[in-house]
């Protein structure tokens, strides 16, 4: 039963990816073959280079900033720390494409900064140097800082839950915190850091919005361009298949990395006494932790507020509560559904850790690296084919079902991670004790595991909720009529160059997400207590 359900869900997640991968097996028309040759000759090199630079640049940024801030805020006490340690994850509330647009506008020639500079100095074009923001570097900064919280949260949890005895033993031997970090804390936290970095990397690979604003020729951009501007779905699918293989390789490395470390322990009363920093170091720590908050949250919001202030005719009547409700409803529904699907898969892995099933569940997690638009169209192809076997009157996109399936495929990885680590923290002995008492798996799940899982479950729900609320491209194409959330309204204005009108919707979207992010952080803090 359990394995059947898990297999079904995994198959559902893998099917659209398989559709994409079959592109290499289908015989192509001469025209498509020519288009593929064209892509190989003129574009593939830059796709590969830009994708690698973007992916690893983003992962590097997220890991360096995420780990250093997690370390500083989990071990030391300094000025502003209590606020900063949670403000650090606020960037999760800002969609990367909003941030990208904000920075693009802020730094461009006609934007406010350069205009101010010219007004002040009387300079003209060519009289001064000003760095370009709309390029690969800009994209790395935007996506990198928007994914810092992934690494930060995981690394912070890792640091906070490391046995206190390590720390005590190290200090009794006269080790400096610096040495302890490099020799003990970081190596022990490596699987967490790696997982966070991988999430950041996958986010970068799946991005279309930011790269198109920044003019980066990544695989995501190339897939989109081949499909929608060149009109060659098969060329797009071939590129997507290459991307999939790349992601799968990365995930295998991660799985291998994790296998070497498998421990489960419940640590009670793990309150670390934080080391107070001197004034100078305190300032440094403060600035370090402030940086990602400024870059990923405060500045984009200030830019949006500036845009909003241009709007003299803006009236609150515009802000139909309907959009907010739709946003909440879609996010909530998606969060619940994806969390349940991920729970079934994680549960199956718990009870059958050595079986063939785990390969399927691993594969099912790859969807996170596929751009939403590509996944959506892959799903539509799939629906189109299956439709022939059902009544001609029904079609998936008539209801919210198609959209929810897309969310499951795309976001199951984000819900799966916290649940799996939630399971690993429940000692196997508990299951064995339950079994020894003659209880079956169902009872074991409800009476033993679920009570210990409700925090990871809530985390899974919130993470998916946040992702859904910010999701744009799959929502746009798979939604039924009348489904119009804040992201879509903001996008419709923005795509028509009406950024001033788009700004209030983007701001409300961020405000909603901020609430979810704050709850998420509170849960994370509780999570570490009983672990």
Partner 1 sequence: MFKKSLLLFAVLATGLSALAAETAAPKAAETKPTEKELVIYSARKEELIKPLLDQFTQKTGIPVKMLSDDAPKLLARIESEGAASPADVLITVDVANLSIAKDKGLFAKLNSKTLNKNVPALYRDKDSEWFGLSKRVRAVFYNKEKVKPEELSTYEDLADAKWKGNILARSSAHPYNQSLFAHIIKVHGDKYASDWAKGFVTNLARPPQGGDSDQLRAVAAGEAKLAISNSYYYGKMLTSELPEDKLVAQKVGIFFPNQKSAKGQLNGVHVNISGGAVLKTSKNAKNAQKLLEFLSSAEAQDLYASLNKEFPVLTTAKSDSVLASWGPFKEDKTLLHSWAPHSKQATLISDQVGWK
CA distance 41 to 399: 42
Site track for partner 1 across 56-95, x = CB under 8 A: ----------------------------------------
Is-contact 245 47, C-beta < 8 A?
A: no
Smallest gap from Cβ 387 to partner 1, in A, equals 6
Distances (CA, A) of 297 to 131, 267, 519: 21, 34, 17
Q: Is 477 in the site for partner 1 (CB under 8 A)?
A: yes
CA 192 to chain centre: 15
Q: Is 27 in the site for partner 1 (CB under 8 A)?
A: no
CA distance 214 to 224: 15
Which pair of structure tokens corresponds to residue 286? 């403060």
- Percent helix, strand and coil across the chain, each to the nearest 5: 80, 0, 20
User: Total residues contacting partner 1 (rule CB under 8 A)?
Assistant: 70
Smallest gap from Cβ 30 to partner 1, in A, equals 14
Q: Which of 91, 104, 197, 371 binds partner 1 (CB under 8 A)?
A: 104
Q: Which of 71, 78, 152, 227 binds partner 1 (CB under 8 A)?
A: 227
Site track for partner 1 across 314-343, x = CB under 8 A: ---------------x--xx--xx--x---
Is-contact 521 87, C-beta < 8 A?
A: no
Q: Is 213 in the site for partner 1 (CB under 8 A)?
A: yes
Phi, psi of 76 (to 5 degrees): -125, 155
Q: Is 208 in the site for partner 1 (CB under 8 A)?
A: no
Closer by beta carbon to partner 1, 261 or else 399? 399
Q: Which of 140, 155, 170, 377 binds partner 1 (CB under 8 A)?
A: 377
Q: Which of 27, 173, 316, 392 binds partner 1 (CB under 8 A)?
A: 392
Smallest gap from Cβ 513 to partner 1, in A, equals 19
Query: To 5 degrees, how large is the angle CA 264–CA 340–CA 331?
Result: 115
Query: To 5 degrees, how large is the angle CA 370–CA 421–CA 253?
Result: 50
DSSP 353: T
Q: Is 476 in the site for partner 1 (CB under 8 A)?
A: yes
CA distance 401 to 409: 12
Site track for partner 1 across 257-296, x = CB under 8 A: ----------------------------------------
Helices and strands per DSSP (H, E), number in the chain: 25, 2
DSSP, collapsed to helix, strand or coil, labels residue 76 as: strand
Strand pairing class (76-77; 275-276) = parallel
CA distance 294 to 272: 28
Q: Which of 182, 310, 359, 530 binds partner 1 (CB under 8 A)?
A: 310
Tokens 């690698």 belong to residue: 52
Q: Is 217 in the site for partner 1 (CB under 8 A)?
A: yes
Q: Which of residues 162-191 bind partner 1 (CB under 8 A)?
A: none
Where does this chain touch partner 1 (CB under 8 A) — which range of 186-194, 211-219, 351-359, 462-470? 211-219
Smallest gap from Cβ 372 to partner 1, in A, equals 11
Using the CB atoms, write b or e for 279-301: b if 16+ within 10 Å.
eeebeebbebbbbbbebbbebbb
R_g over Cα of the chain: 24
Q: Is 108 in the site for partner 1 (CB under 8 A)?
A: yes
Closer by beta carbon to partner 1, 114 or else 424? 114
**Which parts of this chain interact with partner 1 (CB under 8 A)?**
35, 38, 42-43, 104, 108-110, 114-115, 118, 124-125, 132, 134-135, 213, 215, 217, 225, 227-231, 310-313, 329, 332-333, 336-337, 340, 373, 376-377, 380-381, 383-384, 387, 392-395, 397-400, 446-447, 450-451, 454, 457, 476-477, 479-482, 492-493, 495-498, 500
């Amino acid at each position: 039963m359990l394995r059947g359900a898990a297999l079904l869900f995994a198959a559902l997640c893998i099917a659209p990816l398989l559709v994409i991968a079959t592109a290499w097996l289908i015989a192509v028309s001469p025209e498509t073959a020519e288009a593929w040759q064209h892509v190989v000759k003129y574009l593939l090199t830059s796709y590969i280079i830009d994708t690698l630079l973007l992916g690893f640049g983003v992962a590097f940024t997220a890991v360096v900033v995420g780990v250093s801030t997690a370390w500083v805020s989990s071990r030391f006490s300094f000025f502003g720390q209590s606020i900063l340690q949670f403000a650090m994850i606020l960037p999760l509330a800002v969609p990367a494409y909003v941030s990208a647009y904000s920075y693009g506008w802020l730094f461009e020639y006609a934007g406010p900064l350069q205009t101010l500079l010219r007004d002040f100095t009387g300079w003209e074009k060519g009289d001064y140097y000003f760095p370009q923001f709309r390029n690969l570097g800009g994209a790395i900064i935007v996506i990198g800082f928007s994914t810092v919280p992934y690494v930060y949260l995981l690394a912070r949890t890792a640091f906070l839950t490391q046995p206190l005895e390590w720390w005590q033993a190290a200090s009794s031997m006269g080790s400096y915190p610096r040495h302890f970090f490099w020799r003990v804390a970081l190596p022990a936290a490596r699987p967490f850091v790696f997982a966070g970095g991988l999430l950041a990397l996958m986010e970068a690979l799946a991005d279309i919005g930011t790269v198109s604003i920044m003019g980066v020729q990544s695989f995501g951009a190339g897939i989109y361009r081949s499909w929608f501007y060149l009109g060659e779905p098969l060329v797009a699918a071939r590129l997507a298949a290459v991307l999939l293989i790349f992601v799968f390789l990365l995930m295998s490395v991660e799985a291998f990395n994790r296998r070497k470390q498998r421990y489960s322990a419940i640590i009670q009363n793990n309150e670390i006494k934080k080391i107070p920093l001197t004034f100078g170091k305190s300032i440094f720590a403060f600035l370090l932790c402030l940086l990602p908050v400024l870059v990923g949250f405060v500045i984009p919001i200030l830019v949006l507020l500036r845009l909003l202030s241009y709007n003299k005719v803006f009236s609150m009547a515009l802000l139909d509560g309907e959009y907010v409700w739709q946003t909440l409803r879609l996010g909530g529904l998606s969060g619940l559904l994806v969390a349940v699907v991920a729970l079934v898969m994680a549960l199956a892995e718990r009870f059958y850790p050595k079986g063939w099933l785990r390969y399927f569940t691993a594969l099912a997690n790859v969807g996170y690296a596929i751009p939403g638009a590509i996944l959506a169209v892959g799903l539509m192809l799939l629906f189109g084919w299956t439709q022939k076997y059902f009544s001609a009157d029904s079609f998936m996109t008539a209801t919210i079902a198609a959209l929810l399936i897309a969310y499951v495929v795309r976001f199951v990885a984000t819900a799966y991670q916290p649940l799996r680590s939630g399971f690993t923290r429940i000692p196997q002995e508990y299951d064995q004790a339950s079994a020894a008492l003659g209880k079956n798996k169902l009872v074991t799940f409800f009476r033993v595991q679920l009570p210990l899982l409700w925090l990871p479950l809530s985390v899974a729900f919130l993470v998916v909720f946040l992702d859904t609320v910010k999701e744009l491209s799959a929502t746009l194409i798979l939604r039924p009529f009348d489904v119009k959330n804040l992201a879509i309204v903001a996008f419709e204005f923005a795509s028509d160059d009406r950024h001033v009108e788009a700004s209030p919707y983007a701001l409300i979207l961020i405000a909603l997400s901020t609430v979810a992010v704050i709850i998420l952080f509170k849960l994370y803090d509780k999570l570490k207590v009983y672990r």
